[in-house]
Amino acid sequence: LISFTMLDIKSCAVNFNEIQNISPVVNVNVSKISSERKSVNHFSLKGVNESYFNIKTLKFNTGRAFNNRDMNRKVAVLGFEIAKKLFNNVNCVGRLVFIKNIGYKIIGVTQKDNMFNNSGYDVYIPYENALNINSKTQFNEIIVSLKNDVNTEDFQKTMKVYLSNNKGINPKDKTAFFF
């Protein structure tokens, strides 16, 4: 499994003008998320930065996405299904959810997209908080969006060689990176 750091994110952003947005994705394995009265065990906790929501084109029922100032705060964005289960469709922006007994202020709730999108069961926190929960400084996933005029295939080839060289991986290894 290949690991990345924030230095890798910054390096990619600086070296690739084709990138419009870039975000780490820190997957966190925790057993539950709770409100004052309810808990949910079926959800996905992701640590991301403010660009993630633009990359995934997530829209909001209420509240907002992260901004740069939120990266050092205990804040959360809930998927619509999690908000519904924890707060019974009541506007929960400004309330708290608890992850490993730490309170996170809810700043947004995503919209229900379509039946093929499972983001309603996602909970998003700033990536630094996710790394702290995991007791790690590294993560295994980076997500990007490209500028409109970029040839995606060419970009993928160039990015693969760049990352392979930086991580000491054979650029011909087809299993090293997923695009």
Q: pLDDT at position 81, please?
A: 93
The secondary structure of 91-153, three-state, reads: CCCCCEEEECCEEEEEEEEECCCCCCCCHHHEEEEEHHHHHHHHCCCCECEEEEEECCCCCHH
Q: pLDDT at position 179, please?
A: 77
Q: pLDDT at position 120, please?
A: 87
Q: Which residue has the tokens 């997209």?
A: 113
Q: pLDDT at position 113, please?
A: 72
For the chain, what's the residue count? 179
Is-contact 21 144, C-beta < 8 A? yes
The 10s digit of each residue's pLDDT in 30-82 is: 999 999 999 999 999 999 999 999 999 999 999 999 999 999 999 999 999 99
Q: pLDDT at position 115, please?
A: 52
Q: pLDDT at position 131, please?
A: 94
State which residues of the chain have pLDDT below 70: 114-118
Instruction: Report in angstroms the alpha-carbon separations of 110 from 84, 126, 174.
Output: 11, 16, 35
Q: pLDDT at position 116, please?
A: 54
Q: pLDDT at position 119, please?
A: 78
Residue 127: half-sphere exposure toward Cβ, Cα within 13 Å: 23
Q: pLDDT at position 177, please?
A: 81
CA distance 154 to 94: 44
